[in-house]
Amino acid sequence: SKILVDKDVLIYCGHGSGTRYIPMLSLLRLSVRAVGLLFGCSSAALDQPGALSDPAGVPFAYLAAGSPAVVGMLTSVTDREADYLTLRLLRTWLDAPETPGEPPAELWEAVVRSREAPKFHVTRASLVMYGLPLVRTTGAAVCKPTGPAGHHKGFPVYENAD
């Protein structure tokens, strides 16, 4: 839980959404700063407990606790396909742009580009993002809005809060 509060990004690779390690109720008590990258089966799936209730799930808990964005899988995926998605997403979003002067990839763009990596269409469709469009700044990705002057393509830019 310290990572969620003190760091810019949490990367979870494992079964489900990691609620074995940080239960949803504990998550909701935190002031989350980190973007949640949850690379587990059904980590971004939502449940609708009743006909008249709104959907709920781990991604909404992250957002309610203050996380600016959450990326995860809607369905079950194979470990190999999840690895392809994970590597492509991290390289696309966190590596420096290939062309000097090119703006860094926004998180949603990295999600879209990452969908090219897996071979199964169901895996491609499984990767989703909830939250704000984030732009990685030098050396970090993160969670402090810079205000009206800090917009990129019409969306707020988030910079390292340190």
Nearby residues of 130 by Cβ (< 8 Å), 6 or more positions away: 44, 59, 60, 62, 63, 69, 70, 71
Around 108, how many Cα atoms within 13 Å sit in the side-chain half-sphere? 11
Measure the CA–CA gap between 120 and 48, rounded to whole angstroms. Answer: 27
Q: Using alpha carbons, select from 82, 78, 77, 75 the residue that is nearest to residue 11.
A: 82
Question: Which residue in the list 9, 27, 37, 41 is annotated as catalytic?
Answer: 41
Dig out the tokens for 26 from the structure: 């504990």
Residue-level length of the chain:
162
Joined together, the tokens standing for residue 114 give 């990452």
Triad 115, 111, 53: Cα angle to 5°: 105
Active site residue 41: yes
Q: Catalytic residue numbers? A: 41
